[in-house]
């Protein structure tokens, strides 16, 4: 009997949580800081899909927690995204999804390679980009495939 009460209570909480999620977030339920940040969107807030409201509210909270340097980097990334064509955005989403499907060890390795690239002197990065541009499509593909192989022991 006790177990069934817990099951019923659990189901009720699950349904209640789902109903709250489906309703989205009322404008007045946002924090003062979130409302101030999102003020330009107040008039159409109630028209947004509840999942989109949740996403925007979480994004606003993350923004408010960032320091000045992180905000600058986020602004730069947003400007790049905003200036992309629809095709470029679709390609970026696909690359992100491919990255997310990789095993964690492979993602960690790629992040490490990227960090090493970012710490190179600008002249060296420019040289590597130029060398990559000069490759044929087949050579580029071979390089990508070689880079995706796990490291061989003893190398």
Question: Helix, strand, or coil here: 81?
Answer: helix
Q: What is the pLDDT of residue 91?
A: 94
pLDDT per residue as tens, the chain (155 positions)? 554 554 444 544 454 455 444 578 999 999 999 999 999 989 999 899 999 999 999 999 999 999 999 999 999 998 999 999 999 999 999 999 999 999 999 899 889 989 999 999 999 999 999 998 999 999 988 887 877 666 666 65
Sequence spans of domains, the chain: 120-149
DSSP 152: P
141-155 residues labelled b (16+ CB within 10 A) or e (exposed): eeeeeeeeeeeeeee
pLDDT score for 152: 63
- Here the tokens at position 35 are 């409302």
Query: CA-to-CA distance for 87 and 98, rounded, in angstroms?
Result: 16
pLDDT for 7 equals: 46
**pLDDT for position 11:** 47
pLDDT of residue 144: 78
Place of tokens 């602004």: 75
Residue 32, both tokens: 């003062």
pLDDT at 151: 62
Instruction: Count Cβ atoms within 10 A of the Cβ of residue 109 and give its class: 0-12 exposed, 13-18 middle, 19 or more buried.
Output: middle
Looking at residue 22, its pLDDT comes to: 55
């Amino acid at each position: 009997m006790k177990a069934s009460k817990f099951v019923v209570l659990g189901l009720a909480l699950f349904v209640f949580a789902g109903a709250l999620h489906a309703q989205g977030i009322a404008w007045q339920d946002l924090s003062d800081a979130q409302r101030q940040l999102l003020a330009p969107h107040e008039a159409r807030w109630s028209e947004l899909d509840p999942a989109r409201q949740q996403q925007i509210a979480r994004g606003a909270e993350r923004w408010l927690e960032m320091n000045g340097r992180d905000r600058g980097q986020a602004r730069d990334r947003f400007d790049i995204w905003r200036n992309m064509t629809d095709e470029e955005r679709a390609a970026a989403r696909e690359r992100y999804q491919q990255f997310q499907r990789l095993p964690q060890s492979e993602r960690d390795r790629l992040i490490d390679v990227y960090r090493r690239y970012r710490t190179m002197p600008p002249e060296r990065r420019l040289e590597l980009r130029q060398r990559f541009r000069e490759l044929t499509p087949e050579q580029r593909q071979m390089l990508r495939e070689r880079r995706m192989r796990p490291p061989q022991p003893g190398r």
